[in-house]
């Protein structure tokens, strides 16, 4: 029974396409959610809505990183051989930096 489940498993490429699609949907949804929350929060003076919108922005950054990761790596095993450019590393470093 377990072997049948393995045979029916989608290919890596198909799973990669699912991850890209879900990330795109997440970026759009959370971007709208965050923008509306910040807008309505600013209009009504609600700090809760404003911070909820900021939290949605964090989720957008996370979805962008997932999208970037799955668009850069095409096949299983390439992670070991992939070389990130200085620009890619700078993007990740700046995305993860928190300044108060």
**Domain for residue 82, yes or no?**
yes
Residue 60: which residues within 8 A CB-CB, separation 6 or more? 26, 27, 30, 31, 34
Q: What is the pLDDT of residue 33?
A: 96
**Domain for residue 1, yes or no?**
no
**Domain for residue 3, yes or no?**
no
| Distance set, CA 61 to CA 5, 25, 48, 54, 58 (Å) | 34, 13, 20, 11, 5
**Domain for residue 55, yes or no?**
yes
**Number of domains, the chain:** 1
**Domain for residue 5, yes or no?**
no
In whole angstroms, what is the distance from residue 43 CA to residue 39 CA?
6
Q: What is the pTM of this model?
A: 0.64
Q: Structure tokens of 22?
A: 């879900």
pLDDT along the chain (100 residues), means of 10: 62 84 94 96 95 94 88 61 68 60
Q: What is the pLDDT of residue 93?
A: 63
Residue 41: domain span: 10-96
Q: What is the pLDDT of residue 3?
A: 56
């Amino acid at each position: 029974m377990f072997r049948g489940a393995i045979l029916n498993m989608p290919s890596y490429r198909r799973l990669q396409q699912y991850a890209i699609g879900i990330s795109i949907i997440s970026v759009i949804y959370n971007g709208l959610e965050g923008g509306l929350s910040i807008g309505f929060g600013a209009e009504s003076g609600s700090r809760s809505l404003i911070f909820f919108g900021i939290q949605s922005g964090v989720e957008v950054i996370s979805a962008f990183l997932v999208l970037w990761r799955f668009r850069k790596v095409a096949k299983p095993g390439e992670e070991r051989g992939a070389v990130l450019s200085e620009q890619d590393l700078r993007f990740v470093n700046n995305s993860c930096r928190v300044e108060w």
